[in-house]
Amino acid sequence: MHWTPRRETFRSLLETDDCFHPGSVFDPISARIAEDLGFEIGMFAGSVASLAVLGAPDLIVLTLSEFADQAYRINRAGNLPLLVDADHGYGNALNVRRTVEELETAGVAALTIEDTDLPQPYGTVGSTRVLPFEEGIGKIKAALSGRQDASLVIAGRTSAASINGLDDAIERGRAYQAEGVDAMFFTGVTAEDEVRVISDALDIPVFLGGPGTGTLGDREFLARHGVRISLQGHHPFMASVQATYETLKSLRNGKSPEDLIGKASSEFMNTVTCANEYQRRMKEYLGG
């Protein structure tokens, strides 16, 4: 498949003066729904991947191959430009380079590499650390060197704002910008003034973790200060878990399948599975 057009679309969105909320997706059907609803960007988070693939919490027990495989399944289902959270790159700087290669092959439009010290080192349970400054820069250099399609967006990501303070986060953002990242993703930013300071400090698009509340939920404010992507959390997956639980519970308690509510209609299922296109192919190729 040709992945470059969707990467070019993603880059064109970063060049606008708008701020976008990505649709949080976790499998092919959720990505098709997001695309059909008009979301400009899909977001596949490491935390959601761990839940969807392993049924495990976000503790970096997912492997690169598991993450890349699921990203590929999502990408081949449609044309929604997909931003992925590649966590720490699944190891040291050499692993980061491999991560970029694999995710580029899987069709992602953009990825983030963060400088949190992951997976949790021995003796640090209950705390969170960022990598030494130089190691974070080394990972960014490795990520950029692994890119073969120039249209792929590589963003640095730092959680330093909530760990070491905003000054350290900005210093890291500037350093990663100097190395050539296309954008900077900041987590732990909770105040309007922090957004302004970040905006003044950087010359590249800013991504923010979320969901933001108050002014930080105002896309016009964010857009004016260089924020091009603002996450809203990962509620679609959580909602699907709750819906599955309620449905199975009802059936287990003796409710008739005919009396269940909240089910997707046959027509909607045909839409999200591209049933008409498959029927057309069957007639054309199988003489149906």
- The pLDDT mean for the chain works out to 96
Q: What does the DSSP assignment read for the chain?
A: ---HHHHHHHHHHHTSS--B-PEE--SHHHHHHHHHTT-S-EEE-HHHHIIIIIS--SSS-S-HHHHHHHHHHHHHT----EEEE-TT-SSSHHHHHHHHHHHHHTT-SEEEEE-B--SPPTT-TT---BPPHHHHHHHHHHHHHH--STTSEEEEEE-HHHHT-HHHHHHHHHHHHHHT-SEEEE-S--SHHHHHHHHHH-SS-EEE-S---GGGG-HHHHHHTTEEEE----HHHHHHHHHHHHHHHHHHTT--GGG--SPPPHHHHHHHTTHHHHHHHHHHHH--
Tell me whether residue 197 is exposed, middle or buried, using C-beta atoms within 10 angstroms of its C-beta: 0 to 12, 13 to 18, 19 or more.
middle
Question: How does pLDDT run across 32-47, given as a tens digit for each residue?
Answer: 999 999 999 999 999 9
Cα 80 from Cα 151, distance rounded (Å): 15
- CB-CB neighbours of 259 under 10 Å: 7
CB within 8 A of 125, min separation 6: which ones?
A: none
User: Residue for token digits 């976790």?
Assistant: 26
Q: Which two tokens stand for residue 155?
A: 């963003």
Q: Token pair 């931003």 is at which residue?
A: 83
- Taking only the tens place, the pLDDT of each residue in 59-95 is 999 999 999 999 999 999 999 999 999 999 999 999 9
Query: How many Å is the Cα radius of gyration of the chain?
Result: 20
Q: Can you read off the two tokens belonging to residue 192? A: 């309007």
What is the reported pLDDT for 8?
A: 98
Give the number of other Cβ atoms within 10 Å of residue 167's Cβ.
12
Residue 210 has pLDDT above 80, yes or no: no
Tens-place pLDDT, residues 220-260: 999 999 999 999 999 999 999 999 999 999 999 999 999 99
What is the C-alpha separation between 222 and 71, in angstroms, rounded? 28
Under 8 Å between Cβ of 205 and 14: yes
Q: Within its chain, how far is the Cα of 218 from the centroid? A: 20
pLDDT digits (tens, 9 = 90+) for 111-160: 999 999 999 999 999 899 999 999 999 999 999 999 999 999 999 999 99
Q: Hey, which residues does 84 pair with through a beta bridge?
A: 44, 111
Which architecture does CATH list for 4-239? Alpha-Beta Barrel (3.20)
Q: How confident is the model at residue 1 (pLDDT cuts 50, 70, 90)?
A: confident
Looking at residue 214, its pLDDT comes to 66
Q: Is the pLDDT of residue 212 over 70?
A: no
- Is residue 25 a contact partner of residue 236, using CB atoms and an 8 Å limit? yes
**Cα dist from 159 to 64, 101, 259, 270, whole Å:** 21, 24, 47, 42
Position 216 scores a pLDDT of 83
Amino acid at the residue 205: P
| pLDDT band of 288, cuts 50, 70, 90 | low
Dist. CA 156–CA 179, nearest whole Å: 10
**Domain regions of the chain by residue span:** 4-239
Question: pLDDT per residue over 181-200, tens digit each?
Answer: 999 999 999 899 999 999 99
